[in-house]
Amino acid sequence: MTGPTPHILGRRALLGGAAGLAAAGLVGCSDGGPTGPGTLPGGAGKNGGKGQNGGKGAITWWDHNVNLQKANGAAYDAFTKESGIGVDYTYVQTAKLGQTLQLAKQSKQLPNIHSTAGLELSIPALIADGWFQPIEWEQDVRDRFGDDGLVDGLHVFDDKIYSFPIFADKQYVAAQWYNKSFIDKAGIGQPPTDYDEFRDACRKVMAANEGSFGFIFALGHTGRLSEQVNAMAQAAGFEGLDGTLFRTGEVAYHDQAYLAVIEFLRSLQTDKLVFPGASSLDDQTARARWAAGAAGYYMDGPWCSGTVQTEMPQFLTSLDVGPMLVPDASHELVAYRGRQGGNYYVSSAAEQGDACSRLLSYLPGEKYNIAIADAMAQPPYDLTAIEKSKAIEPWRRLIASYQDCVFIAPQATLQNADVQQVARHSKDIKPGLGEIVQGVFSGDVTDVRGALKKLSDATAADREQAIAKAKAAGASVSADSYAFGSWKPRTDFTSSMYSR
């Protein structure tokens, strides 16, 4: 099983209506498969005996998970063998998926099943807006997640399952992946751990590798950039998540930790250590440039090696990974992350809802978890599967390190279920953190603290108006719902710690 050969879907196809969408499928139907992102070596998987095309009446599936295509392809095949229903798979690049789904909804072309990367509204808001329908599973499938795997407010809403976790909770997205040959040639021993060490390592890489730069990252991908700066802010001392302090619930993007991270990144540009075209790069392009020798270091999540394995397999033996950076030796590496949400959802437009639910039931289980580990995506929901996988040592080492420095964060929706109603009234604040960092690099944002304070104030004001609307509709919620006075650093916030 080599996995499905995907369609590659773009904005032009959607704007062209149904005919344009069909044409986008034809692009991926050549004998050799598509040459764009997401192509897997070895040709098309069976995909229900229909190649990449599930045929008439097939379930349509779109996602951004290039390194899960083999794992998901095995589930497609098993489902089709049992049901006789094919699966028509389309890969959409991470940075483009949100816009592509929005256009598809407007033109009534949403797939039956899809991931949600880039849809910036909360899941409760998307449910309220009519995006999804519940997943209908028998108890034996639910039991695969144990007593606390399917969480109210994350996967279950109004007693209905809308999604489920396929990845483990503990991880961060700002690891420093590096080109081993560049680092060895520069005479660098252990990976740098703080800002000054990293800056020095970048200089050594450039001195030893003519024409290359020290560092490259996806500055053009604001969603990913925001995630990375949020994670690095935690490592710099911010005791919260996504700009919100755990203990008080205060929105504080203007905290000194965020300023330290942004000033550090800007200093790399000032010192001419950053690949000069980074401002236009999304994650896929930046990663490909890095693998081609544009820079020694690349900031990415745990999926980096899996994506390289899929798209640039010749580079896989040349990569290694170091930890997320801290400002200096006085800081101990730490990150906080909430319980893992869902990855795949059934569209409300899907007429074959029962069949979609059956298809998704092929994902939870040992085989799928091992396949995720083989693919070196995010760590699988069941971490014991890693020992049975073919994952390379750097990825295994990174995943193991998460267990020592990543801790479960408190989440307002788990403290007060009515927070879901607040989320339904929340708006997407622009410019957001990613856009502000972009502006710092372009020179459009000169008062960094001032821009971050405006973001804090706008985010707090939006939450206030959303709370007011939720209360008017009967919700019992307040600003206190976002505060966790019992929170302690470097400690998992468990279900028993919520004050309900």
Q: Give 34-85 as a DSSP string.
A: -SSTT--TTS---TTTTTT---TTPEEEEES-GGGHHHHHHHHHHHHHHH--
Tell me if 175 is assigned to some domain: yes
Please answer whether residues 380 and 168 qualify as being in contact, where contact means their C-beta atoms are separated by less than 8 angstroms: yes
Q: How confident is the model at residue 4 (pLDDT cuts 50, 70, 90)?
A: low
Q: Do 350 and 264 share a domain, yes or no?
A: no
Q: Which residues pair with 497 in a beta bridge?
A: none
Alpha-carbon Rg of the chain, whole angstroms?
Answer: 22
Query: What pLDDT, on the 0 to 100 scale, is given for residue 212?
Result: 98
What is the pLDDT, as a whole number, of residue 476? 96
Q: What is the mean pLDDT of residues 16-44?
A: 33
Q: What amino acid is encoded at 125 in this protein?
A: A
Q: Are residues 444 and 372 in the same domain?
A: no
Residues 6+ apart with CB under 8 A from 301: 171, 172, 173, 174, 175, 378
| pLDDT over 70 percentage in the chain | 89
| pLDDT tens digits, one per residue of 411-463 | 998 999 899 889 889 998 999 999 999 999 999 999 999 999 999 999 999 99
111 and 211 both lie in a single domain: no
Average pLDDT over residues 251-260: 98
State whether 204 and 130 are in the same domain.
no
Compute the distance between CA of residue 213 and CA of residue 203 in angstroms, rounded to an integer.
Answer: 8
Are both 332 and 465 inside the same structural domain? yes
For the segment 303-319, the average pLDDT, to the nearest whole number, is 96
Q: Using 50, 70 and 90 to split pLDDT, how confident is the model at 26?
A: very low
Q: Are 65 and 35 in contact (CB under 8 A)?
A: no
Exposed (0-12), middle (13-18) or buried (19+): which is 374, by Cβ within 10 Å?
Answer: buried
Partnered with residue 176 across adjacent β-strands are 299, 322
Q: How many domains does the chain have?
A: 2
Give the closest residue to 320 by CA, choosing from 340, 337, 343, 304: 304
What is the spatial distance between Cα 468 and Cα 477, in angstroms, rounded to a whole number? Answer: 9
Residue 385 located in a structural domain: no
**Separation CA 207–CA 281 (nearest Å):** 24
From 38-42, 262-266, 339-343, the region with the lowest mean pLDDT: 38-42
Q: Residue 53 — pLDDT band, cuts 50, 70, 90?
A: low
**Structural domain span for residue 456:** 168-340+391-500
Residue 415 counted as domain residue: yes
Residue 271 within a domain: yes
Per-residue DSSP letters for 359-401?
Answer: HHTTSSSHHHHHHHHHHT-SPBSSGGGGGGS---HHHHHHHHH
Of the candidates 342, 42, 332, 38, which has an alpha carbon nearest to the alpha carbon of residue 169?
342
- Residue 157: burial class (beta carbons within 10 Å; 0-12, 13-18, 19+): buried
- List of residues 6+ apart from 321 with CB closer than 8 A: 175, 176, 177, 178, 191, 304, 305, 394, 395, 397, 398
Question: Peptide bond preceding 410: is omega within 30 degrees of 0, i.e. cis?
Answer: no
- Residues 46 and 106 placed together within one structural domain of the fold: yes
Considering the domain architecture, whether residues 366 and 417 belong to the same structural domain is answered as no
Q: And the tokens for 130? A: 């009519």
- What integer is the mean pLDDT of 387-398? 98
What is the number of other CB atoms lying within 10 angstroms of the CB of residue 413? 22
Domain for residue 1, yes or no? Answer: no
Q: Which residues pair with 240 in a beta bridge?
A: 245
Residue 233 lies in a domain: yes
Task: Say if 76 falls within a structural domain.
Answer: yes
Stated pTM of the model: 0.87
pLDDT (tens digit, 9 = 90+) per residue, 399-414? 999 999 999 999 998 9
Residue 20 has pLDDT above 90, yes or no: no
363 shares its domain with 447: no
Look at residue 55 in the predicted model and tell me its pLDDT.
Answer: 66
Let me know whether 153 and 179 are in one domain: no
273-288 tens-digit pLDDT: 999 999 999 999 999 9
User: By the 8 A CB rule, do 319 and 177 touch?
Assistant: yes
pLDDT at 116 over 50: yes
Beta 59-63 vs 87-91: how paired, if at all?
parallel
Structure tokens belonging to residue 69: 């295509």
Tell me the pLDDT band of 54, cut-offs 50, 70 and 90.
low
Q: Look at residues 380, 406, 438 and tell me which one is the last residue of a structural domain.
A: 380
Could you tell me if 353 and 433 lie in one domain? Answer: no
Q: Please indicate, yes or no, if residue 2 is contained in any of the structural domains.
A: no
Q: Go through 418-439 and write b for each residue having 16 or more CB atoms within 10 A of its CB, e for each that does not.
A: bbbbbbbbbeebebbbbbbbbe
CATH number of domain containing 444: 3.40.190.10
Q: Are 336 and 171 in contact (CB under 8 A)?
A: no
Confidence of residue 31 (pLDDT cuts 50, 70, 90): very low
Q: What is the rounded average pLDDT of the residues 190-212? A: 98
CA distance 207 to 191: 17
**Do 347 and 334 reside in the same domain of the chain?**
no
Q: What is the pLDDT of residue 41?
A: 27
Same domain, 199 and 304: yes
